[in-house]
Amino acid sequence: MSHFADASPDPKSHIKTLMRIGYTMPSAVSDILDNSITANAKNIEIHSLPGFKEPNISILDDGDGMSPEELIQNMKIGCKDPSDDRERGDLGRFGSGLKTASFSQARKLTVISKKEGEPLCAAVWDIDRIESENAWCLEILDENEVKAHPLLLLGSKKESGTQVIWEKLSCLNKTNHSLDDETIMASNLSELGNYISLHFHKFMDGKNKRNFSINNAQLQSIDPFMTRSPGYQEGRSEKLRCKGGYIEINTHVLPHFKRMETIPLERLGGANGIVQNQGLYIYRENRLINAGGWLGLAKTSQLGALARVEVNVPSSLDQEWATDVKKSSLQLPPRIKKELRKFLADPIKRSKRVYTYRGKQDKANKYWNIQENENDKTISYQISAENDFLIDIFRVIPKEQKSQLIKYLGQLAENLPLNHIYEKMSESPRDIDQESVTDALLEAIMSRVFEEEINE
């Protein structure tokens, strides 16, 4: 007759699995920020306090906070049923984000919290202790121990709030031994700031805005659609009715690179970042989950670089969209793929139109002809033989020099540095300056002629 045996996971082995779920530092911090937003925090601060032997990270909010009983419950792995319905605006799902995100970045997690009318409370997960005792031994601090904590930022005078503290950091990349911890941390925090400014940009503006800061420096939102920039185009929008609510789809076309303002362009990764990050921007409860890429629905192209499709999904559709524990990836349901394809053509076409219009302007150029051969599908860039200035030169130079000039102009066109031009137009088109090339050419030629005359 069959029987049952206790096959509970070994804590020492299980914790090592949880540490390797696959968070990056920005995605791990974002999971903590989700909890702060769900707890109605208006101000969220990230600190890395100096003066300690080992680096540390604190995430402090002024949200609802937790009572001692609620804190212990929320420190459990998988403290919520992921199939439970969530209220609108709840960014949680699995009840594991706080722990798994923290374990991926630090070997010691301390959570200090205060609910209105309740005392300060704190609980500690220490991976070293879990491994040495092979048990899920959650340490509960008494009020005096909490107040004496060296990294405490959540003062007892605050009505409510929560502070998440990471110690024994494993997220510092120490492959380059010439960099000290502070330098590595500064680089990580800079990357984190850009990530938060983009992925939480919808929370940083508007009537119910939240304030985010890193080491007391306020973060500013990064709008991936450049909606306030000259030349931005708003496209088709629609709401799709689904079993769990509505999916909102909006299409956007960014301004041409020449019209983009310098700071917004740089914050989006420059021209190269614009090209690479074209595509779908999928939000879950206003938090950006997928930042670019067509997810197999269209091909990435230079002409489609300015196209963006915004998709807003409620948390009630998590199961259908297969949202993962990190809330950093998802899968498009087949019906949504079919609907989205209807929206892709318009922004891509508009993006191509912006480039095509600029291309026609370039064709109306008295110095160059662009020859497109439909038969063999080739394109060549040829010096215009109808340029009046060039014709005047041919009229006055001796016959034997005319063939030399023609040969030189032919070689000039053949050796046009197309690869370099393409690369720089993709990466930094605003840096290209052709206005002073005539003076530079004249100076270079006169300098060489002068040197030859001296040598003679």
pLDDT reading at 176 higher than 60: no
pLDDT of residue 194: 96
pLDDT of residue 92: 47
Please state the φ and ψ torsions of residue 383, each to the nearest 5 degrees.
-70, 130
Give me the residue label for tokens 């629905």. Answer: 297
Helix or strand holding residue 54 (H, E): none
Average pLDDT over every residue of 328-343: 78
Q: Is 281 helix (H, G, I), strand (E, B) or coil?
A: strand
Domain with CATH 3.30.565.10 in the chain: 11-218
pLDDT digits (tens, 9 = 90+) for 361-397: 555 577 887 777 666 667 788 888 778 888 888 888 8
Residue type at position 319: Q
**CB-CB contact of 112 with 121 (8 Å):** yes
Percent of the chain with pLDDT over 90: 43
pLDDT reading at 358 higher than 70: no
Average pLDDT over every residue of 164-184: 76
416's CB contacts (< 8 A; 6+ apart) are: 381
260's CB contacts (< 8 A; 6+ apart) are: 226, 229, 231, 254, 430
Report the helix count and the strand count for the chain, using DSSP H and E: 15, 15
Distance CA 349, CA 109 (A): 50
**What's the pLDDT band for 412 if we cut at 50, 70, 90?**
confident
For the 11-218 domain, the top CATH level (class) is alpha beta
pLDDT of residue 395: 85
Instruction: Using alpha carbons, select from 29, 155, 174 the residue that is nearest to residue 104.
Output: 29
Domain with CATH 3.30.230 in the chain: 233-361
**CB-CB contact of 162 with 62 (8 Å):** no
pLDDT of residue 170: 86
- Bridge partners for 383 per DSSP: 368
pTM value is 0.77
254's CB contacts (< 8 A; 6+ apart) are: 225, 226, 229, 231, 232, 260, 274, 305, 306, 308, 351
pLDDT digits (tens, 9 = 90+) for 189-228: 999 999 999 999 999 998 889 999 999 999 999 999 999 9
Using alpha carbons, list the distances in angstroms from residue 389 to 25, 168, 367, 383, 439.
60, 72, 9, 12, 17
Surface-to-core class of residue 164, CB atoms within 10 Å of its CB (0-12 exposed, 13-18 middle, 19+ buried): buried
- Describe the chain by its helix, strand, coil percentages, rounded to 5: 40, 20, 40
Question: What is the second-level CATH architecture of the domain 233-361?
Answer: 2-Layer Sandwich (3.30)
41's CB contacts (< 8 A; 6+ apart) are: 61, 62, 63, 161, 210
| Helix ranges restricted to H, 139-295 | 143-147, 181-199, 262-267, 270-276
Average pLDDT over every residue of 1-11: 82
Query: Per mean pLDDT, which range of 195-204, 242-251, 401-410, 422-431 is the poorest?
Result: 422-431
Burial 427-452 (b: 16+ CB within 10 A, else e): eebeeeeeeeeeeeeeeeeeeeeeee
Please state the φ and ψ torsions of residue 192, each to the nearest 5 degrees.
-65, -40
| Helix ranges restricted to H, 208-333 | 262-267, 270-276, 318-321
Distance CA 50, CA 294 (A): 42
pLDDT digits (tens, 9 = 90+) for 117-143: 999 999 999 999 999 999 999 999 998
pLDDT of residue 439: 67
Using alpha carbons, list the distances in angstroms from residue 181 to 104, 174, 175.
18, 8, 11
pLDDT digits (tens, 9 = 90+) for 244-289: 678 899 999 999 888 888 889 999 998 889 999 999 999 999 999 9
Cα-Cα-Cα-Cα dihedral of 182, 187, 188, 189, to 10°?
90
Secondary structure letter of residue 83 according to DSSP: T
- Map 150-189 to HEC letters: CCCCCCCCCCCEEEEEEEEECCCCCCCCCCCHHHHHHHHH
Q: Is 269 helix (H, G, I), strand (E, B) or coil?
A: coil
**CB-CB contact of 221 with 201 (8 Å):** yes
Please state the φ and ψ torsions of residue 89, each to the nearest 5 degrees.
95, -10
pLDDT of residue 88: 52
pLDDT of residue 392: 84
pLDDT of residue 189: 95
pLDDT digits (tens, 9 = 90+) for 435-450: 777 766 666 666 665 6
pLDDT reading at 75 higher than 60: yes
